[in-house]
Structure 1
């Protein structure tokens, strides 16, 4: 049986998912990308992946098995209102921050199967860690289609809706914290007379190798201790970080991210009321 994924929104995350699903073409998949305001993006997706594109997604709802809302949170209300008049039991997935299941279910017909997925930018390389949750209205085939989408962009972890609201700061926003750290290391390395490209190569490989070691299952504390000789050079660097409250800074950054996300989500909820 052929399954059709309709993407409403044609930005970078939609492209990452479309690219990932291309590898599952043997599973009788069709992909439609829709975007009302940016025809250049649609042309790009058509040229790169050969998917069907449209500026009028409403005409493709009935033929679709899965509808992916790949748009900003503030665009959901209007789209869901339009979708509510057309949908007939198709799976609706949002990949927008702060949405949650209730905000999907409320405008749609009762019993509509919905899911909320929070990937991160590593979806572009098939290495996302995506948080996801879904309503109990999904049937077995719809769960499989959701898992197919998740697996196409990396690894995933099922969480409660509340956990996703809290953990998005760790999986979705924290890559920006890491890139800020990497940028500081690159600047430090470049300050010792090497080219920026060389510094970037050194730092990116260091981060990659360290991530591989983390994935081995050894605790980060044990890995840190293995690198650190008491009274040695690495210990001196760690002392500077600890004196500056490095661990607390990270905790505060996560807290601030969550508070801002809750504020933005609250604004949207108030607007809907």
Structure 2
């Protein structure tokens, strides 16, 4: 990345940036262009700094964009659908706020109901329309989110079943409730999609997966994908894999929070103030995750870029390997997957 910024700084920023062919750059990487905005001056390294970077191959690149940096953000087309929430908890709120912020729907096209009047008032505060019955929400919705606790899903779907039409897409985000149970409650003609999101939906960075059921079509799938891409990423999988999704991304935030806490504790043990240690740990996780997503490189390759011979990082990695950290994470995902399978059969 340092070489990328140097080249841009040396040649200036142009409206169309041609690919920068760096030393040791593979053919797959040459299809990218690098942009560093604003341009930065070349950084002169000391001999010691240069030597410590000799093992790095500088293959971290950013996909090109045409025009100024503002052109990188594309406008989001409005969604010609009304959105309803049966249950107005935090996940429902995050979805509603994400849709509004992205401009997919206006607040007045969002309906909701919840047994807690405080939650209904919260939705009303940002312009959504609260109703006193689930049937009224269904009547005023095209996409109907079932966002109640799992034990209440069958009840609310049975309640709204008489007013569901072929124009409704029913989306359940209730954990453990299978497609068969959803169709049984909503009716054989219902367009049902089961989604497993995770809590980073609250900050617009969910990792979700979905499967289709009943009469759900590719149009329903595309609609749900558009909605969830307003608050993160979503993938389509077979329902038999949703338990694994639960074990990985559904439960995964807890594993990551534990890792952030442990890293921060390590920083405190090494002498850092608690607030700085925690901020550094969290930002390190955030930045590392973005590198995986945006570079497309294998995590092992990115790890190798940090571990110089006989350096500090390889010493730390060795300790992690001795403690069995990889196996512990793998075992956590498998254990959570097994538990999700058990719950779906109850």
TM-score, normalised via structure 1 length: 0.89
Q: Is the 2:85–2:112 Cα contact (8 Å) retained in structure 1?
A: yes
**Runs of 4+ off more than 4 Å:** 24-29
For 1:85 and 1:257, locate their aligned partners in 2 and report how far apart those are by CA, in whole Å.
37
Indicate the residue corresponding to 1:149 in structure 2. 227
Structure showing greater radius of gyration is 2
For 2:178 and 2:101, locate their aligned partners in 1 and report how far apart those are by CA, in whole Å.
28
Indicate the residue corresponding to 2:278 in structure 1. 200
* Residues 184/144 of structure 1: CA separation in 2 closer, same or farther (3 Å cut): same
Indicate the residue corresponding to 2:148 in structure 1. 71
Indicate the residue corresponding to 2:73 in structure 1. none
Higher RCO, Cα 8 Å, sep 6+: 1
Higher alpha-carbon deviation: 82-91 or 121-130: 82-91
1:220-268 Cα deviation digits (max 9, x unpaired): 111111211343322222222112211111111111101211222222x
- Tell me the matched-pair count: 265
Higher alpha-carbon deviation: 185-194 or 70-79: 185-194
Higher alpha-carbon deviation: 219-228 or 129-138: 129-138
Is the aligned partner of 1:243 residue 2:305? Answer: no
The residue correspondences of 1:97-136 to structure 2 (distance < 5 A) are 97-135=175-213
Q: Is the 2:84–2:144 Cα contact (8 Å) retained in structure 1?
A: yes
Is the aligned partner of 1:179 residue 2:265? Answer: no
Higher alpha-carbon deviation: 237-246 or 213-222: 237-246
Indicate the residue corresponding to 2:139 in structure 1. 62
1:143-178 Cα deviation digits (max 9, x unpaired): 443223112211211111112221221111111101
Say what the alpha-carbon RMSD is for the aligned residues: 2.0
Determine which structure has the larger helix proportion and give its number. Answer: 1
Structure 1 runs not aligned, ≥5 long: 268-273
Indicate the residue corresponding to 1:34 in structure 2. 113
Indicate the residue corresponding to 1:254 in structure 2. 333
Q: Is the 2:243–2:338 Cα contact (8 Å) retained in structure 1?
A: no
Q: Is the 2:81–2:141 Cα contact (8 Å) retained in structure 1?
A: yes
1:167-206 Cα deviation digits (max 9, x unpaired): 2211111111011010011112123343322112211221
1:139: how far off? Answer: 4.8
* Residues 60/229 of structure 1: CA separation in 2 closer, same or farther (3 Å cut): closer
* Residues 55/187 of structure 1: CA separation in 2 closer, same or farther (3 Å cut): farther
Q: Is the 1:91–1:113 Cα contact (8 Å) retained in structure 2?
A: yes
TM-score, normalised via structure 2 length: 0.71
Structure 2 runs not aligned, ≥5 long: 1-78
